[in-house]
Amino acid sequence: MARGVRVSRLGVIAVLLTALAGCDLVRHWWGEQLTLTATTTSLGVGESVRVSVRRKVAWFWSGDLADPSQTRYATTSESALVVEPDGQATCVGTYGRPYESAWVSASNGAAYGHLSIDLRPDGPGPTLELVPVSRDLPVLPDDARSIFVPCCSAPLALREGQRMRFTIQARASGRDLTSSASGTRYTLFFGSGEPNDPHPEVVTGGPAVLSATTFRLDAREGTMTAPASIGRLNRGRVIVFFRNETLVGWREVVIIHR
């Protein structure tokens, strides 16, 4: 009769990990050092969720970040899912499809991680509206229209160097919430997926002409000003996202040549 073979629990775990070493899921888990979670990973248009970030300690355990203030967020699709600097993610569209998805990623020092979020066309939609006050805005050229725009409102056009006055209004009450003194916060996206990115060209590979340093938004005065020049770009695009407590809204702004 053959002798039985005794295998310790640690041995079993070692064998399983070895067998799984070639699995993409395992490689992916070990490659990311941050765990991102949210109370829901399914959002309709206009719905938001706060993403929490912790560091991975062991296979099933996570711990607090040493310095949470150093966490930086990004989205893989800012025309469908935006993420604010504090980690709040909001669905702003699905490209007209019945289903879409996007990632929110986070980095803290050299550590990084991501969370996949499902996006649906149903939902409350925007509850804040950006209303232009300036009357001399150019007409958006037909060749500047794109399917990759957020839901629910037509893009606005600005010429190079042009300043536009605007108001932010609550759609339900009509209350003016333009000023940052009312609690409204603005977040800008320039194609890189990173909120308020001063150097989106690092990700996009384009010229360094349109960024958080060249596109100016004055929340106190209610104005936004296009950069003096967008260089050799045919068009420049900015997504302006705004929040006042649970109320949210967004608008795409297209910069065109004079």
Ordered by where they begin, the domains of the chain are 9-120 (2.60.40.1080), 128-256 (2.60.40.1080)
Q: Which contiguous run of DSSP H or E holds residue 41?
A: none
Contact 55, 33 (CB under 8 A): yes
CA distances from 157 to 146, 147, 161, 206, 256 (A): 13, 16, 12, 20, 7
Rounded to an integer, what distance in angstroms lies between the CA atom of residue 55 and that of residue 63?
5
Torsion sign over Cα 210, 213, 219, 225: negative
Query: Read out DSSP for 191-228?
Result: SSSSTT-S-THHHH-S-TTSSTTTSEEETTTTEEE--S
Its pTM surpasses 0.75? yes
Residues 150-208: tens digit of each pLDDT? 899 999 999 999 999 999 999 999 999 999 999 999 999 999 999 999 999 999 999 99
Residues 1-18: tens digit of each pLDDT? 444 334 344 443 333 333
Residues 196-214: tens digit of each pLDDT? 999 999 999 999 999 999 9
